């Protein structure tokens, strides 16, 4: 193939929507092109070998924050062993501050911005033997009506084994300074009937898991209503829909539809980020917190939707007490998951303007997470990073529903931070903790670090252990009466191992 469209995904089950847009819009060049996807754990030399075996003339690489390190190595190898192959870069990681990046210096061309149409034009010129003088090209704004949709280029293998990403709109009207969408002018919708026809085709081909990448799915009540109605008409026990929801915008038309979806069908990603009004204003995040509270409570009590809510550690001016108050407030709203992210300095985002005034220091290596701020020192950020990992392991995993109330009590943040500090001091680990060992650690942490009544801890852990599917039971979960009797099976099962998420 003359043209290879390539990216490195974080995991196999991700399928690149961006590559499929590029392929769909190659026009007459499409028969000369192929999509090649890899994962970041593969050796760059092995990827280069596979690519060059097809004797390409042009390799287009999608570069993101999660793959820039490995892709930089890949480009270096390609240019060392096949210098005549033209390497073209695109993607959000290289579209901003390109002059600072070794990968850009090594490649032949870079397209900044939405490259859906610009990549095809550049490839056409290169295959004619023309070499544009400007190595860094800036894509013109695109009218969405001019784009060929990519969904036909999800293969049968993709549909069977991968997440299928779709978008009903592009862009975002909000200007949150930690997000690349702050650079957008507004959100622009695809023509709705055209989009729904494409979704009908995907559904007919067997797609049942639709992950919408729209930043503001419910920005337009009419559009959200139509999309929900479309999927309600196609309900079955395999359908799963993921949407990113604006938390303070839930009009009656949408409220009437969401409760009609059965359990396990809807997941809403809800960006809270912070409940501190001063911090919200500082990062230009517009959010009605009272309405957000009311909407989340309504979703939890009147619908079956799974709520995944986000908070960010390290926003300018937010200290530990402020973050703790926001966390406790969110816990009280009871979303099924609370994702605790560490602030990242994405290239091109306006958050950099706060670096000096608020003492933001970021890691120089991807994913450029904040190391300290004037309000949170390095030790605080490290503690909260571990807090986030243990929260995923113990709370977001859903494996400890009976034990979770004992972990949180009436001071969720303070208690869980104490447990996180104890866990790290005891294990020096945040990963690769065997599942049955996790039960033993929780028993010790609950009874020692959090002073939970041993019988209450035993009953809760026993219920979660039984639910887990592990066989037998460790000695500390046995009742006092059972402890006095020999239990050979329990002893044999002390060493049962299960990998924890």
483 vs 120, higher pLDDT: 120
Of the candidates 313, 501, 310, the residue with the CA atom closest to the CA atom of residue 392: 501
Give the dihedral of Cα atoms 474, 477, 482, 486; nearest 10 deg: 10
Contacts of 115 (CB under 8 A, 6+ apart): 22, 90, 139
Q: What percent of the chain has pLDDT over 90?
A: 92
Tell me the CATH number for domain 3-144: 3.40.50.280
Distance, in Å, from the CA atom of 371 to the CA atom of 357, rounded to the nearest integer, reads 15
**Inter-axis angle of helices 221-232 and 192-204, to 10 degrees?**
20
User: At residue 172, what are phi and psi to the nearest 5 degrees?
Assistant: -155, 140
Residue 270: in which H helix or E strand, if any? Answer: strand 266-273
Per-residue pLDDT at 480:
56
Region of 472 (left: φ > 0; alpha: ψ -120 to 50; beta: rest) is left
What residue spans in the chain does CATH classification 3.80.30.20 cover?
Answer: 163-376
Distance, in Å, from the CA atom of 145 to the CA atom of 151, rounded to the nearest integer, reads 15
For the chain, the distance separating the N- and C-terminal CA atoms, rounded to the nearest angstrom, is: 40
Give tens-digit pLDDT for 219-235.
Answer: 999 999 999 999 999 99
Give yes or no for a contact between 453 and 445, defined as CB atoms under 8 angstroms apart.
no
Contacts of 498 (CB under 8 A, 6+ apart): 434, 435, 436, 468, 470
Regarding beta strands 361-362 and 370-372, do their DSSP bridges make them parallel or antiparallel, or are they unpaired? Answer: antiparallel
Give tens-digit pLDDT for 440-455.
Answer: 999 999 999 999 999 9
Residue 244 neighbours by CB distance under 10 Å? 20
pLDDT of residue 495 exceeding 50, the answer is no
How is 190-212 classified by DSSP, letter by letter? PPHHHHHHHHHHHHHTT--EEEE
Region of 123 (left: φ > 0; alpha: ψ -120 to 50; beta: rest) is alpha
Give tens-digit pLDDT for 328-379.
Answer: 999 999 999 999 999 999 999 999 999 999 999 999 999 999 999 999 999 9
- Looking at 3.40.50.150, 3.80.30.20, 3.30.200.20, 3.40.50.920, the CATH number of the domain 163-376 comes to 3.80.30.20
What residue spans in the chain does CATH classification 3.40.50.280 cover?
Answer: 3-144
Give tens-digit pLDDT for 93-146.
Answer: 999 999 999 999 999 999 999 999 999 999 999 999 999 999 999 999 999 999
Average pLDDT over residues 174-179: 94
As a residue count, the chain comes to 501
Distance, in Å, from the CA atom of 381 to the CA atom of 360, rounded to the nearest integer, reads 12
482 vs 253, higher pLDDT: 253
User: Measured at the alpha carbon of residue 373, what is the angle toward residues 334 and 321, in degrees to the nearest 5?
Assistant: 40
Average pLDDT over residues 81-91: 98
Distances, alpha carbon 367 to alpha carbons 73, 125, 182, 321, 473, in Å: 16, 34, 18, 26, 41
Distances, alpha carbon 438 to alpha carbons 90, 323, 429, 442, in Å: 43, 27, 11, 6
pLDDT of residue 9 exceeding 90, the answer is yes
Distance, in Å, from the CA atom of 378 to the CA atom of 360, rounded to the nearest integer, reads 11
Average pLDDT over residues 406-421: 98
Provide the b/e sequence for 401-424 (b: ≥16 CB within 10 Å).
Answer: eebbebbbeeebbebbbbbbebbb
Per-residue pLDDT at 474:
83
């Amino acid at each position: 193939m003359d043209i290879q469209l390539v990216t490195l995904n974080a995991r196999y089950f991700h399928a690149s929507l961006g590559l499929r847009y590029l392929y769909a819009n190659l026009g007459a060049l499409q028969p000369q092109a192929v999509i090649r996807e890899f994962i970041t754990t593969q050796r760059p030399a092995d990827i280069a070998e596979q690519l060059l075996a097809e004797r390409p003339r042009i390799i287009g690489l999608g570069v993101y924050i999660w793959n820039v390190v490995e892709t930089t190595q890949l480009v270096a190898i390609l240019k060392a062993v096949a210098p005549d192959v033209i390497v073209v870069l695109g993607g959000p990681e290289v579209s901003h501050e390109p002059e600072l990046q070794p990968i850009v210096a090594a490649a032949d061309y870079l397209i900044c911005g939405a490259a859906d149409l610009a990549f095809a034009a550049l490839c056409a010129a290169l295959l004619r033997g023309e070499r544009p003088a400007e190595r860094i090209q800036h894509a013109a704004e695109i009218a969405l009506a001019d784009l060929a949709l990519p969904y036909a280029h999800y293969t049968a293998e993709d549909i069977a084994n991968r997440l299928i990403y779709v978008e009903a709109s592009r862009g975002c009207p909000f200007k949150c300074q930690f997000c690349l969408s702050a650079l957008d002018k507004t959100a622009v919708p695809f023509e709705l009937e055209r989009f729904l026809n494409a979704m009908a085709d995907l559904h007919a081909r067997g797609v049942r898991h639709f992950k919408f990448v729209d930043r503001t799915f419910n920005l337009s009540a009419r559009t959200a209503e139509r999309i929900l109605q479309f999927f309600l008409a196609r309900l079955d026990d395999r359908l799963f829909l993921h949407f990113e929801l604006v938390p303070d915008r839930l009009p009656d038309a949408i409220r009437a539809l969401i409760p009609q979806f059965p359990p396990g069908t809807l997941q809403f990603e809800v960006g809270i980020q912070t409940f501190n009004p001063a911090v919200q204003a500082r990062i230009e995040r517009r959010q009605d917190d009272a309405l957000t509270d009311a909407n989340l409570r309504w979703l939890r009590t009147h619908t079956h939707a799974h709520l995944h809510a986000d908070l960010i550690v390290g926003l300018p001016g937010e200290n530990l007490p402020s973050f703790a108050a926001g966390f406790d407030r969110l816990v009280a709203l009871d979303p099924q998951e609370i994702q605790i992210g560490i602030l990242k300095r994405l290239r091109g985002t306006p958050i950099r303007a706060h670096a000096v005034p608020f003492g933001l220091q970021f890691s120089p290596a991807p994913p450029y997470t904040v190391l300290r701020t004037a309000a949170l020192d390095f030790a605080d950020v490290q503690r909260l990073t571990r807090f986030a990992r243990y929260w995923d392991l113990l709370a977001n995993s859903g494996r400890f529903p009976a034990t979770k109330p004992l972990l949180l009590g009436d001071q969720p943040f303070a208690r869980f931070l104490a447990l996180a500090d104890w866990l790290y001091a005891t294990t020096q680990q945040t990963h690769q903790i065997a599942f049955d060992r996790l039960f033993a650690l929780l028993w010790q942490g609950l009874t020692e670090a959090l002073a939970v009544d041993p019988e209450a801890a035993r009953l809760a852990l026993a219920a979660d252990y039984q639910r887990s599917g592990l066989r037998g039971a460790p000695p500390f979960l046995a009742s006092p009466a059972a402890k006095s009797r020999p239990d050979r099976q329990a002893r044999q099962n002390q060493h049962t191992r299960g990998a924890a998420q």
